[in-house]
Amino acid sequence: MAAQQSSLLLRKQLNELKKNPVEGFSAGLIDDNDIYKWEVLIIGPPDTLYEGGFFKAHLYFPKEYPLRPPKMKFITEIWHPNIDKTGDVCISILHEPGDDKFGYEKASERWLPVHTVETILISVISMLADPNDESPANVDAAKEWRENYTEFKRKVARCVRKSQEDV
């Protein structure tokens, strides 16, 4: 039953995004027969280091969606404190609901069933513009962002150029 409800909800969100596209990203299914695996293209936000980039990522939804969050993984190489070296995104709203056992995040900052694909992607775009180096998934990128910003910018610029070739 939960799978059927999540499937209907995801189909509704997909149709809504097709009817009313949101600036900054596009989304669709990886495979038309699997509503739980999405491919998104995030356009590097203006006035950020990622401007001009085209970053492909996958969203993997659990059958318990929207009670549990999806996982997000960048397929395009990207250098960012909150994206680990394998492309996995670490952002509060994608963390399991409830209290953070480490006390770092409030429950209200974590996954809530009201989140949609649109709110997830807007949060990720915002994260690109404003990294959280206090809780990094990529410690090297966070350290560089803080201590050697010139080198950080150089690596991001290389990722942006590479992303333009892959489109």
Is CATH 3.10.110.10 what the domain over 1-166 is classified as, yes or no? yes
Q: What average pLDDT does the segment 127-144 reach?
A: 93
Per-residue pLDDT band for 161 (boundaries 50, 70, 90) equals very high
Mean pLDDT of the chain: 94
Specify the pLDDT at position 103: 74
Q: Are the beta carbons of 54 and 44 closer than 8 angstroms? A: yes
| The two three-digit tokens of residue 56, written as one number | 């492909």
Per-residue pLDDT band for 55 (boundaries 50, 70, 90) equals very high
159 tagged catalytic = no
Catalytic residue among 72, 83, 90, 93: 90
Specify the pLDDT at position 87: 98
Q: Are the beta carbons of 21 and 37 closer than 8 angstroms? A: no
- In the chain, what are the domain boundaries? 1-166
**pTM of the prediction?**
0.93
Q: Are the beta carbons of 43 and 57 closer than 8 angstroms? A: no
Q: Are the beta carbons of 116 and 13 closer than 8 angstroms? A: yes
Distance from the first to the final alpha carbon of the chain: 38
Specify the pLDDT at position 100: 81
7-27 per-residue burial string, b: 16 or more CB within 10 A, e: under 16: bebbeebbeebeeeeeebbeb
pLDDT higher than threshold 60 for residue 1: no
Per-residue pLDDT band for 108 (boundaries 50, 70, 90) equals confident
Q: Are the beta carbons of 4 and 12 closer than 8 angstroms? A: no
